[in-house]
A and B are shown apart, each in its own frame.
Chain A
Amino acid sequence: MQGLLNEMSSALQAGKAKMVKELVEKALADGVSAKDILERGLLSGMDVVAVKFKNNEIYVPEVLVAARAMNTGAALLKPHLAESGAKPVGKAIIGTVKGDLHDIGKNLVRMMFEGKGIEVIDLGVDVPMEKFIEAYYTEKPDIVALSALLTTTMGEMKNVVEAFSNEATRSDVVIMVGGAPITDSFRESIGADIYTPDAATAAEAAKQAIMRLRGKSA
């Protein structure tokens, strides 16, 4: 079984979506549990991708095709996972803040989160503060992740954080910020919880924050 899962992980790392799909189908037919396929095939492959990306061994396009391959495989597993009652690591809502239409960084973070087994609700770009709050109540996420590329829109992050601060449940959610102009001192100044300089680190930090929030060890 491990040989098949290793093959799946390698195909995912190479961005071969069709091959990943075939291998997931084969693993399911062989009776491998959906949870094992997800964790030991797909997510372990994305872990390798994240490490290589962080170490500048691979580049954004390679991450994007690997993530698409993972999503192709994960889509096949969804009904099986639901049937077995398997739960994602946690849940995040993500979006680029109001006034900002850039989405590459946000997409990368989404894919890296998914690669850690975190369920992600992507609110898209140009997301008003009210939509983050509304999504918070409907989705009940562990993480709210805000992206901005422009110096003129990073201020909107402060408005979103303040809006959450007015909610009674602020301590139940971790607010992450990221994007080219963002720094940790900016994060601190607006009262957000986590800043990371890259998508791979963001995913690791998100997973650990979820574990802390849920009272588990990472």
Chain B
Amino acid sequence: MNTMDWLKTAASQHKPMPILSFPGIQITGATMRELVASGKKQAECMKAIADRYDILASVSLMDLSVEAEAFGSPVRFSDNEVPTVTGAVVKDESDLEKLIMPEIGTARTGAYVDTIREAKKLITDMPVFAGSIGPFSLAGRLMDMTEIMVLCFEEPELVHATLEKVTQFLIKYNTALRDAGADGIVMAEPAAGLLSPNLIAEFSSPYVKRIIEAVQSSECVFIYHNCGNVIPLVNSIIETGAKAMHFGNSIDLSEILPLIPPDRLVFGNVDPSSQFRNGTPESVREATLNVLNKCAGYPNFILSSGCDIPPVSPFENIDAFFNTSMEFYAKADER
């Protein structure tokens, strides 16, 4: 499909597009350990969500350990939690030189490409978005997140050299996701949300831009995700060339919407943790209405969660989110 054209009318459909895939395991019965290792199970999970909800598009898992694992990072798996990278593999230049550029298929990268292929077969009535980590967030996992931020000052050349390597890999990986049929890619760059405007402009956005320029096409567009305090960083994020931006709940979305060009979509930002996971249907309704009341007047706004919704979030909370959106827009259409 031509996703660029779809983007032009996506907001006017008034359907939410939360980062919602992990909770599908409550329907399919897969454990987290099984899910993150199997493209087929992931596609089934996405299909279960697509069947249950009137959602704008299907989004694959936000699993930010996949790409680092392909580079050799140790990863901890569990039956009910999203996998986590547990240690650094690049501590100095010699580690970086030894770092082997992974082929697509290394570790679980092949499974995640399969996910898109399978999901495209199962889900035919809406776009299917793949997920990928962003370059600074991947480099941070390879170097240790605290260390990379210090090294941005103390050894910037090492950070840039690592970013160069991960960018080359991410171009290959995102190309494979696109070629598997992804209508778009949600690129998660949350670690860049910790940076200052100067640092993000040096260590994240130019690399994101290179990946987008290499991979984005009319059939596969990028949604840039960052759940940090992005308001001071917004100009640099716009520079990446992403056609849409997805922001977390650490900002008031209505403060950033006026800063974004109207031809770029903005998604956000009901709190996944305190609302979807730990809230009640009433509190989710209130939080959803709060975002809608502030943001629905912008023609490029699409309601979403602030980040990926945790696996064991109660469906009654997710139902409340969708129902509130439906009621809100039904009332708005009546007026």
Q: Which residues in A have some Cβ–Cβ distance to B below 8 Å?
A: 15, 56, 58-62, 64-65, 68, 99, 101-104, 107, 150-153, 180-181, 183, 186
Contacts and interface: CB of A to CB of B under 8 A. Distances in A.
B146 A183 contact: no
Contacts of A181: 273-274, 277-278
B199 A59 contact: yes
5 contacts: A62-B196, A99-B81, A102-B84, A103-B146, A152-B312
A180 B278 CA distance: 13
A15 B153 contact: yes
B274 A61 contact: no
A200 to B, nearest CB: 14
B194 A60 contact: yes
A58 B195 CA distance: 9
A192 to B, nearest CB: 16
A107 B194 CA distance: 14
B122 to A, nearest CB: 28
A61 B149 contact: yes
A200 B119 CA distance: 45
Contacts of B274: 181, 183
B273 A151 contact: yes
A59 B278 contact: no
A101 B273 contact: no
Contacts of B84: 101-102
Contacts of A65: 150, 153-154
Contacts of B277: 151, 181
Contacts of A61: 149-150, 152-153, 194-196, 199
B145 interface: yes
A103 B148 CA distance: 13
Contacts of B78: 99
A206 B15 CA distance: 45
Which of A61, A107, A180, A183 neighbours the largest number of chain B CB atoms within 10 Å of its CB? Answer: A61
B81 A150 contact: yes
A104 B81 contact: no
A151 B145 CA distance: 20
A104 B145 contact: yes
B60 interface: no
Given A181-B273, A181-B277, A64 B146 contact: yes
A181 B195 CA distance: 21
